[in-house]
Structure 1
């Protein structure tokens, strides 16, 4: 298992889940569990290492702002679910969002949220986030308090992109979610002033 194989599995799950935005979390999670239960437990554990490393790259202030705007607020748990949601969009959107969080204003799901056609929690994918754990449990019959950790270091191929400097103004997302932008400025003026 390496990063490229991890992305292949994620992309296969994304393809299997289909293009609809309704219940994206449930469909992605079920598809990922199906993909992973075809592997050996050690491979699933290693996949989990890479999956978590990809999610951790999303834990940045500029992407927090994007999550806040799209999802009408964002806390620690929501940021974790949003990080899984970005991974679940596939490698292309994930990479684009890391380079420029404001590009999410162009994503069809986000535009659907802004137009009221898609549920605002579409990218909060908690079930998808924990799908590797569920796959491991299905394969081994054991309960884990957290992911089984293979203890091998994870090296992602691309260096982390530079973070948008604060204060951060995501003009595209702010235009889609003007009320949320006002609320964000009230709560976190140091991030957006």
Structure 2
């Protein structure tokens, strides 16, 4: 699956979910001020599952590979810092979940935040999360959606899917294990303000 096709699937699913611009604005406006925002990514996940269940096992592997490749592109220190602010901390596993959520925002947003992670402060979901002191864009389930779709459509266990996916990836290049971009101290507010001024102001109040 080439990047155009992959991002086309993401765009189609996003358009039918609460991440669509008008739907997101209406959802946020209708929520009580203290209500969590978890339904937004859940709606994307549910829509993605419906789409994945139409795919053959080979197509699921191709989608999964494209998703992995997109997530590796987002393995970027400033984005990890953004996840650290939004999540009130961000382990290696949590950063994978955060990158899943970034992919759900679509190709344009992923390109924007790779260029400048602080532009994430302009996304309506992030703005709403800051106002509610809520955590958004962390979605572990999106990483496992192809395996669950495989299980649902074939009746075979998820372990068979993982073995199939490993065979699919055999002989393909391994991406770098270290994040790209500048590394800096996530626990120093002044440093974070220098790199991510808007997100830091949103999510890290002065002592």
Q: TM-score normalized by structure 2? A: 0.75
1:138 aligned onto 2:155: no
What aligned pairs does 1:9-48 form with structure 2 within 5 A after superposition? 9-18=9-18, 19=24, 20=27, 21-48=37-64
* Residue equivalent to 1:122: 136
Q: Name the SS of the counterpart of 2:41 in structure 1.
A: helix
- Decide which of 145, 154, 169 is 1:151's aligned counterpart: 169
1 or 2 for the larger relative contact order (CA 8 Å, sep ≥6)?
Answer: 1
Given that 1:84 and 1:124 are in contact with CA atoms closer than 8 Å, whether structure 2 keeps it comes out as yes
**C-alpha contact 1:66 1:170 (8 A) present in aligned 2:** yes
Aligned match of 1:4: 4
Q: Which of the two has greater helix per residue? A: 2
Q: Deviations over 1:65-95 (max 9, x none)?
A: 0001111111122111101000000111111
- Give the unaligned 5+ runs of structure 2: 19-23, 28-36, 174-178, 185-191
User: What is the aligned partner in structure 2 of residue 52 from structure 1?
Assistant: 68
Q: If you compute each CA radius of gyration, which structure gives the higher value, 1 or 2? A: 2
Contact 1:55–1:83 under 8 Å retained in 2: yes
What number of residue pairs does the alignment pair up? 174
**CA deviation profile, 1:86-132 (whole Å, cap 9, x unmatched):** 0000111111111111110111111111111xx62220112223212
CA contact (8 A) 2:77 2:182 kept: no
Runs of 4+ in 1 over 3 A off after TM superposition: 145-148
Alignment of 1:154-173 (within 5 A): 163-167=180-184, 169-173=195-199
RMSD: 2.5
